[in-house]
């Protein structure tokens, strides 16, 4: 093709908004004279390309056309599939069979193979769509000389350099909706409801729904909380409620004094992260055991609900559907202008781009001095003037 070939991949956890982004980017690219290739399974796909087969025979790459992407624009998830592979740190057992003679260390850097595979597929420009882990490898490829334009996605909304990441609005919408539905159970049985939300190091996905009234209290990773104090507050909230129940939103990465981050198991992904989960179980048990101290000696029963994958499933809400189209088009603008090593972003309510290496240069977490009341375990929003709508 006269203008070259664009490769697109999605990495990390799925979120609503990925498919419409791929669709918007593909349609515009083809109409402007580019060819588009979709890489299946994120960075894992790029280490598994078979250089002895043509494109139609590849299991980890496929040509994208307007017909192929037309219907996916209204669907959740990613039809390109995803993975949490880090090509810089590939374990010996995960090295593709045809490369095991050359790469036989316990941990291997397969970046040379990624670059060879990109060249073999004829890809001139690469658009990775992902969170900070996925995009950190995009930074690595750009520093190796490859033309990269990145798009941020994560329902945690914690990628530096942008006010908004794909998937966040749908996550907040789903969390608020489920919290409202769960109120009927908590109220019917006069219990304390504990809802575990996503959020490893940043509490945006719990704090924002709490700001919209999804819970009485919220605890986030940025501030270690006192479990006794939290129990006392929730018991008081329950007593004040005419239906005799109260609600807590807790980020999966939250930690209370004397505890540690809670994991489902010890297995790590390619970026060194263990799978979080279980803080809701632990806190529910602690609250139940401590509740008699603040409830005239009577134990309060708990409803413990992990929101989990329900907040990232299904079709995107209106915001994510619109931002997806915009982000795909901004990425195409950057490619047309020859501005690589950039990440599409939203800043101060407008679409923009920033240097891609901002992803690895800093961390984005909740500013607790501005947005979180550490005494009341609630969002702090006395004054919205001059604040961005997404905290």
Average pLDDT in the chain: 93
- Residue limits of CATH 3.40.50.450 in the chain: 5-166+314-356
Would you call 310 exposed, middle or buried from its count of C-beta atoms within 10 A (0-12, 13-18, 19+)?
Answer: middle
Task: Provide CB contacts within 8 A for 17, sequence distance 6+.
Answer: 153, 166, 167, 170, 316, 320, 321, 323, 324
The 3-state secondary structure of the chain reads CCCCEEEEEECCCCCCCHHHHHHHHHHHHHHCCCEEEEECCHHHHHHCCCCCCCHHHCCCEEEECHHHHHCHHHCCCCCCCCCCCCCCCEEHHHCCHHHCCCCCCCEECCHHHHHHHHHHHCCCEEEEEECHHHHHHHHHHHHCCCEEEEEEECCCCCCCCCCCCECHHHHHHHHHHHHHHHHHHHHHHCCEEEEEECCCCCCHHHHHHHHCCCCCEEECCCCCECHHHHHHHHHHHHHHCCCCCEEEEEECCCCECCCCCCEEEEEECCCCCEEECCHHHHHHHHHHHHHHHHCCCCCCCEEEEECHHHHCCCCCCHHHHHHHHHHHHHHHHHHHCCCCCEEEEEECCEEEEEECCHHHHCCCCCCHHHHEECCCCEECCCCCCCCCCCC
Any bridge partners for residue 127, and if so which?
A: 8
- Residue limits of CATH 3.40.50.460 in the chain: 170-311+368-379
Question: What does the alpha-carbon distance between residue 380 and residue 377 come to, in Å, rounded to a whole number?
Answer: 9
Question: What does the alpha-carbon distance between residue 4 and residue 332 come to, in Å, rounded to a whole number?
Answer: 13
What are 159-203's pLDDT values in tens digits? 999 999 999 999 999 999 999 999 999 999 999 999 999 998 999
Say which residue the tokens 């690895």 belong to: 360
pTM of the predicted protein model: 0.93
Average pLDDT over residues 36-57: 94
pLDDT for residue 385? 85
- With a cut of 60, say whether residue 259 has pLDDT above it: yes
CATH 3.40.50.450 fits 5-166+314-356, yes or no: yes
Give me the CATH topology for the region 170-311+368-379: Rossmann fold (3.40.50)
Average pLDDT over residues 141-151: 98
What are 284-305's pLDDT values in tens digits? 999 999 999 999 999 999 999 9
Average pLDDT over residues 222-234: 97
Q: How confident is the model at residue 265 (pLDDT cuts 50, 70, 90)?
A: low
Any bridge partners for residue 256, and if so which?
A: 225
Question: What does the alpha-carbon distance between residue 138 and residue 359 come to, in Å, rounded to a whole number?
Answer: 10
- With a cut of 70, say whether residue 233 has pLDDT above it: yes
pLDDT for residue 217? 98
Q: Are 379 and 373 in contact (CB under 8 A)?
A: yes
pLDDT for residue 268? 56
């Amino acid at each position: 093709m006269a203008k070259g070939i664009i490769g697109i991949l999605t990495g990390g956890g799925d979120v609503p908004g990925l498919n419409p982004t791929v669709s918007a980017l593909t349609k515009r690219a083809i109409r402007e004279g580019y060819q588009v290739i979709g890489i299946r399974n994120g960075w894992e796909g790029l280490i598994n390309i078979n250089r002895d087969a043509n494109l139609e025979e590849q299991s980890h790459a496929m040509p994208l056309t307007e017909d192929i992407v037309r219907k996916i624009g209204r669907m959740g998830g990613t039809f390109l599939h995803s993975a949490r592979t880090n090509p810089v740190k590939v374990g010996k057992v995960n090295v593709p069979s045809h490369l095991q003679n050359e790469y036989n260390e316990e941990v291997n850097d397969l970046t040379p193979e990624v670059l060879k595979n990109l060249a073999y597929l004829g890809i001139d420009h690469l658009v990775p769509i992902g969170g900070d882990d996925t995009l950190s490898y995009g930074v690595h490829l750009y520093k190796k000389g490859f033309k990269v334009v990145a798009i941020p996605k994560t329902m945690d909304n914690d990628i530096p350099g942008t006010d908004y990441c794909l998937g966040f609005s749908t996550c907040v919408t789903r969390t608020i909706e489920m919290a409202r539905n769960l109120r009927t159970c908590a109220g019917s049985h006069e219990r304390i409801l504990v809802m575990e939300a996503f959020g490893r190091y940043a509490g945006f996905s719990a704090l924002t729904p709490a700001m919209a009234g999804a819970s009485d209290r919220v605890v986030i990773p940025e501030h270690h909380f006192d479990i006794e104090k939290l129990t006392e507050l929730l018991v008081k909230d329950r007593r004040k409620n005419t239906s005799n129940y109260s609600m807590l939103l807790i980020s999966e990465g939250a930690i209370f004094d004397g505890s540690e981050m809670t994991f489902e198991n010890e297995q790590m992904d390619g970026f060194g992260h263990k799978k979080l989960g279980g803080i809701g179980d632990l806190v529910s048990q602690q609250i139940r055991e401590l509740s008699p101290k603040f409830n005239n000696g009577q134990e309060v029963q708990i409803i413990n609900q992990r929101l989990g994958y329900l907040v990232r499933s299904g079709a995107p809400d209106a915001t994510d559907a619109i931002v997806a189209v915009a982000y795909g088009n901004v990425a195409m603008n950057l490619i047309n202008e020859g501005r690589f090593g950039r990440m599409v972003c939203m800043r101060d309510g407008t679409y923009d781009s920033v240097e891609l290496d901002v992803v690895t240069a800093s961390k984005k977490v909740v500013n607790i001095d501005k947005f979180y009341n550490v005494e009341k375990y609630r969002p702090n929003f006395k004054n919205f003037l001059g604040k961005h709508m997404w905290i």
